[in-house]
Amino acid sequence: MTTIHQHHAHEELLNAASALSLGALSPKEAHDVFGEIMQSSANIRKEYNAMVWTAHHLPSAVPLVQPPASLKERIMSKVAERAQHENQSSPKPHAHEEFIPEYDAKGADFYSVLGSDGAWMAHPVKGIRVKPLATDKQRGYATLLMQLDAGTLFPSHNHAGAEQCYVLSGSVKVMGKTMNAGDFFSTQADADHGDILAPEAATVLLVVAMEDYRKSAWKIGVKHLWKRLTSA
């Protein structure tokens, strides 16, 4: 009877882990389920990591489908209308040429960003949001804030340039260490810090190389634009 009960509990935890990997749980549920997974057997943790990896990489395995010409025309029309409106209502920036939503129009030698300014945008990895703060094209780096929901796993990835991370709130696990608010870590160019886990909701300040920033910013920008177009 005990064996049957353990098997049932194992299946329930795996089902919850599957929902967690897809970002289908509330923050509280994600926190609780992630805690159970971290305290479970090595096999369950291994299966959960496999689920996260699959959820992250599955979209790249889906064949691209050519959208209908009418959809492209609608998108381009919306883009043209928005560009015309912004050109008429906003001064053209002479600085900060990179992707800084909400702030690029300021284009001054000095500007500030209040905590209430702007909007957090979805990162390509589920459970993560970012708020770009500034880019320095001359020195080749970008500064941004990143929020991670409880239970979020940022899969291992390689950096073209150095990355510096300061934990503002919550905690993240990286390279076997738990980094709490006030802690800092740095990863050199062409290095890999492995998976980053968020046992609880966390906010970090990142300084990254422009090459790495452009890759993510382009994906985030496409998502942001698509959301605006489809909700218009």
pLDDT tens-place string over residues 110-156: 777 788 877 788 787 889 898 888 877 778 888 889 999 999 988 87
∠ CA(224), CA(209), CA(179), 5° rounding? 90
Residue 30: name the closest of 46, 52, 50 by CA: 52
Pick the residue with more confidence: 188 or 232?
A: 188
Please give the pLDDT value at position 207.
Answer: 92
pLDDT tens-place string over residues 3-13: 656 666 778 88
Q: What is the mean pLDDT of residues 64-89?
A: 76
Which conformational region is residue 230 in: left (phi greater than 0), alpha (psi within -120 to 50 degrees), or beta?
alpha
Q: What are the chain's domains?
A: 2-61 (no CATH), 69-231 (2.60.120.10)
Q: What is the pTM of this model?
A: 0.52
- Is pLDDT at 158 greater than 80 in this prediction? no
